[in-house]
């Protein structure tokens, strides 16, 4: 996690019109960066990575938030309000060009796959349905 990425996530969050919306934008953009960072052949030190993300989250949102809570938010129904927000998508495109909007369904699938590995339950529900619809629709 570098300063440029922190600034990009903060810029996306500032596109939110309310504190709840800004927090949602922050969580989703940060979660997408986290999940995209997993796409490497290099060995990852999750303790170190998570500590860096948690520090940034704490300084940005305060106590009670963590990378784990961000990823949980991204697997729940409330994430759909962010994903369906044109304001969020516009901000993500403007501030995070290295995070293509077309990659969101894949990254959310990755997140649900990790949840499945932990819970041993197939991911079903609104987020899985959203992913299926967007994968079927193809690139935006």
**DSSP sequence for 3-41:** HHHHHHHHHHHHT-SSHHHHHHHHHHHHHHHHHHHT--S
Mean pLDDT of 102-116: 86
pLDDT of residue 116: 60
- pLDDT of 21 over the 80 cut: yes
* Residue 138 pLDDT class (50, 70, 90 cuts): low
Number of folded domains that form the chain: 1
Taking only Cα atoms into account, the Rg of the chain, rounded to an integer number of angstroms, comes to: 14
pLDDT of residue 36: 94
Contact 75, 101 (CB under 8 A): no
* Residue 6 pLDDT class (50, 70, 90 cuts): very high
* Residue 135 pLDDT class (50, 70, 90 cuts): confident
Please state, rounded to an integer, the average pLDDT across all residues of the chain. 90
Q: What is the C-alpha to C-alpha distance for residues 67 and 31, in angstroms, rounded to an integer?
A: 8
Residue 85: domain span: 3-137
Mean pLDDT of 59-81: 92
Q: What is the C-alpha to C-alpha distance for residues 91 and 96, in angstroms, rounded to an integer?
A: 8
- pLDDT of 50 over the 70 cut: yes
Mean pLDDT of 135-139: 69
- pLDDT of 49 over the 90 cut: yes
pLDDT of residue 119: 55
């Amino acid at each position: 996690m570098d300063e440029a990425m922190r600034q990009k996530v903060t810029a996306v969050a500032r596109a939110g019109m309310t504190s709840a919306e800004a927090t949602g934008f922050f969580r989703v953009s940060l979660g997408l960066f986290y999940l995209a960072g997993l796409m490497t052949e290099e060995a990852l030190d999750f303790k170190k990575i998570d500590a860096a993300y948690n520090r940034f989250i704490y300084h940005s949102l305060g106590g009670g938030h963590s990378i784990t809570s961000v990823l949980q938010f991204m697997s729940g129904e409330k994430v759909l309000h962010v994903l369906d927000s044109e304001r969020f998508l516009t901000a993500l495109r403007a501030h995070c060009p290295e995070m293509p909007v077309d990659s969101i369904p894949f990254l959310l699938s990755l997140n649900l796959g990790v949840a499945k590995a932990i819970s041993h339950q197939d991911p079903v529900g609104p987020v899985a349905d959203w992913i299926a619809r967007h994968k079927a629709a193809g690139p935006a």
